[in-house]
Amino acid sequence: MSRFVYLSGLLLLTGCGWEKKVSFTEPSGDATIEILEPFPINASGIRVVLKEGGRRAALYDKRADIFFSFADVVWPKDRGSVAVFACLGGATIELAFDRIRREPKPLGPLSHMVAQHIRANYSVPSEISTDAEIFKWACSDGEKQFQARYPESAAR
Confirm whether 1 is domain-assigned: no
Q: What are phi and psi of 75, to 5 degrees?
A: -110, 95
Residue 82 within any structural domain of the chain: yes
Whole-number Å distance between alpha carbons of 10 and 34: 27
Residue 6 domain flag:
no
Residue 141 belongs to what domain range?
17-153
Structure confidence at residue 154 (pLDDT): 83
Angle at 88 between CA 85 and CA 92, to 5 degrees: 40
Domain count for the chain, please give it: 1
Query: What is the spatial order of strands in the sheet that 46-52 belongs to?
Result: 18-25, 31-38, 46-52, 55-62
Check residue 26 and give its pLDDT: 97
Does some domain include residue 123? yes
The answer to the question of residue 55 being in a domain is: yes
Burial of 26 (0-12, 13-18, 19+ CB in 10 A): middle
Q: Give the predicted TM-score (pTM) of the model.
A: 0.87
Q: What is the pLDDT, as a whole number, of residue 117? A: 98
pLDDT score recorded for residue 102: 95
Asked whether residue 2 is domain-assigned, the answer is: no
For the chain, 156 residues long, the average pLDDT of each consecutive 10-residue run is: 46 67 96 93 88 95 91 96 95 96 94 98 97 98 96 83
